[in-house]
Amino acid sequence: MNFNEKIKSKCLEKNNRLCLGLDVDNNLLENNSLDYMNSYIEDIINATIDLCPIYKVNFSFYERYGSKGYKILEKIPEYINNRAISIADAKRGDIGNSSIYYAKSIFDYLGYDSITVSPYMGRDSIEPFINYKDKGVFVLGLTSNIGSNDFQKLNVNNVAVYKFVIKLCNTMNKYNNIGLVIGATNDKDLKDVESVSSPMPWLMPGIGFQGGNLEKSLKIGEENFLSIINVSRGILTNKNKQVEDIKEATLNYTLKIRDLI
């Protein structure tokens, strides 16, 4: 089973399309020690694993603590233990030799199932990741942040730059392990994205705090490929940030998603 089949299978198994972002800011917790942060993350996974098919880990929340943060990054895939798909939101993307070692770090050493990759340096910055046939690569296509307009929507010969990226991904998806990062805040552009994208999963941040449209984002994927709805702050900062609050918020999103699909 290739990666894109694997992630779809896990979503069908749990009847959900929710990707919970484990973007834990321990400065906002009642105890900001890294030991507490680690146990807090494990408690979140325990409380939500029956609902969540996918977890995404933004590396910036952990890398800022150096080797101590990396120890937590190492433990998360071990703790998930194939019960869900893990995404390393590391946004790597460098020239070939560097990307080879980034891929080894994320996939071989840390053990994540997939990674987010920036395509700015071109095809050879993506290839080392997709050569891991059983691993997934989510390429930044049209992102959810306001600054995406600076480059991604610029026109070259009357074609938006993000469309060139998507078309490149279409041609590179020989192992069916490429997906796209498509921000849910771009709800007016989703049909245009759809028009140039071959069937592949879309990782869709921007629901919740950024105001993305859940229904539009979800339904376009259900019709054609797979929309993975990423929610981080909208769940982690629910009420008092207690694990039971996070469980409740996860269930609420799950029920909304199940109703729409």
Residues designated as active site = 91
Task: Report residue 54 as tokens.
Answer: 């996918």
Q: Which of 155, 129, 131, 151 is nearest to 142 (CA)?
A: 151
Q: Give the up-direction half-sphere exposure of residue 159: CA atoms within 13 A in the CB hemisphere.
A: 11
Angle made by CA atoms 255, 229, 84, in degrees to the nearest 5: 85
φ, ψ for residue 153, nearest 5 deg? -100, 5
